[in-house]
Structure 1
Amino acid sequence: MARRTRIAGTVLATALASLCLPLFTSTAEAATRNPVVFVHGLSSSSSSWDDWIADFKADGYQASELFSWSYDWGQSNATTAQQLSAKIQSVLSQTGASKVDLVVHSMGALNSRYYLKNLGGTAHVDDFASAAGVHHGTTTAGWCGWLYTSCREMNTGSAFLTSLNSGDETPGSVSYASYWSNCDDALTPDTTAILNGATNVEVGCVSHNEMNNDHGVYERVRDFIA
């Protein structure tokens, strides 16, 4: 009888341990991963990240780890970079984290990279993931360049881009990845999204506006920042 009791106790203890393991693992992962800051692009807002934020939550992230924000997309990317710096400092203070992961789309790549290169951002960012980033400019920016400073800065060969891309395009100890589509009509040429020194991934034919909604691209970004 005593032997049966010991066996039953062992089985129960093993079962309880197996039930508790996923909870422990999830808690440990949450304690070590970085909060994610999302940066939208031209003519957009924080709501452009709704699909990916839902995907991150479905994969175990908490709302308190995910930060999307809106900015005046017509202003200079240098001005937006200063606002991004303040946003990231706020996130670090709020979460107690030492670094964030940056996930950006389209023009968001330019102000984010300005922050990394010129405003000390490399000390506060662990991973940088760009979807359809306008890293080397696009000729399609000509349609809005007469209206918005940000568009003029996106135009191929602009003084802003020349300065941003001079020297090391991937400074610091940040891990960089850039995801680009071979049929992105908003980026001319679409290879402008290739960032020198980064892990560059062609994701196939995904439209520009779907690059930060597409689930397949999301999975690649999620795995990279993990």
Structure 2
Amino acid sequence: MLTARQKTVALLTLCLLPLAPVPAQASAGSADRAAGGQLQRRPVVLVHGYNADPGVWGSLRGDLRAAGYTDAELFSWGYDTHQSVNEVLAGRLASYVDEVRRRTGADRVDIVSHSFGSLVSRWYVKFGGGTAAVDHWVSLAGPNHGTSTAWACALWDQACRDMTPNSYVQKNLASGDETPGAVTYATFWSHCDEVVNPDSSVPLTGATNTAVGCLAHNDLLGDPATKAGVRAFLAS
């Protein structure tokens, strides 16, 4: 049970995430194509976390561009993070991925998610048809088995309720195969994460689970070693 002081600290941590300007999205039909009209790489869909926006992906987008991706192959999905994972957000992500596939002509996309975005994208993959549309899936500091800090805002916020241990969302995502289909899964987690409690909530059975050392929750977004691990995984 969290003390009143711990609940206050957890709530502030959840709510005061750094925001940044939203980068421009790729325009329809603008993806670079190699001979034969095929994409040079699978498009990457970036799914931010709770109380954030697509601007948090600036550092990783820069690294991916340096590795050869074009802006036409990088898509940052923005959404209202205070809504239900299973009733609202996973379906909207499914529509967004379908649109990315339509724009680019790609059969599958890769998804990289942070924090709460991991639950949204996992629900889409497991229950929303994503196993047929996603090739690689990445979770950075995702509360994949719940986090006790979410109790601090669960009383009034549906997303926080979804993040609490043993919530409806958590129970269904943990049921059966945690990493279903032909999708290749990876997680990156820190043993100093102040938001995900316990730290062991992040790894998934059947995924490549990588410990990144002692990093704060949001520091995984810009950590050079973590970003290098994401790039290597997407290239595998």
Q: Tell me the residue number matched to 1:48.
A: 56
Structure 1: runs of 5 or more not aligned: 1-25
1:192-215 Cα distance to aligned partner (Å, 9 max, x none): 001111011101011101112212
Secondary structure of the residue aligned to 2:112 is strand
Q: Tell me the residue number matched to 2:43.
A: 35
Alignment match of 1:166 (pick from 175, 178, 181): 175
Structure 2: runs of 5 or more not aligned: 1-32
Shift of 1:220: 0.1
Identical-residue share of aligned pairs (%): 45
1:224 matched to 2:233: yes
2:131, 2:221 → 1: CA distance? 23
2:168, 2:91 → 1: CA distance? 19
Q: Counterpart amino acid of 1:77?
A: V
Q: Tell me the residue number matched to 1:14.
A: none
Q: Tell me the residue number matched to 2:162.
A: 153
Normalised by the size of structure 1, how large is the TM-score? 0.86
Secondary structure of the residue aligned to 1:211 is helix
Shift of 1:31: 3.7
Secondary structure of the residue aligned to 1:88 is helix
Q: Tell me the residue number matched to 1:194.
A: 203
Secondary structure of the residue aligned to 1:97 is coil
Shift of 1:52: 0.6
Moved over 6 A (4+): none
Shift of 1:87: 0.5
Judge conservation of contact 2:116–2:143 (CA < 8 Å) in 1.
yes
Q: Which has the higher helix share?
A: 1
Shift of 1:32: 4.2
Judge conservation of contact 2:49–2:116 (CA < 8 Å) in 1.
yes
Q: Tell me the residue number matched to 1:127.
A: 136
Judge conservation of contact 2:162–2:170 (CA < 8 Å) in 1.
yes
Q: Counterpart amino acid of 2:130?
A: G
Q: Counterpart amino acid of 1:162?
A: K
Judge conservation of contact 2:46–2:111 (CA < 8 Å) in 1.
yes
Secondary structure of the residue aligned to 2:221 is coil
Shift of 1:59: 1.3
Shift of 1:27: 5.6
1:60, 1:27 → 2: CA distance? 13
Q: Tell me the residue number matched to 2:146.
A: 137
Alignment match of 1:116 (pick from 116, 120, 125): 125
1:76 matched to 2:84: yes
1:122, 1:159 → 2: CA distance? 21
Q: Which moved more, 1:118-127 or 1:155-164?
A: 155-164
Shift of 1:161: 0.6
1:122, 1:31 → 2: CA distance? 20
Shift of 1:121: 0.4
Q: Tell me the residue number matched to 1:99.
A: 108
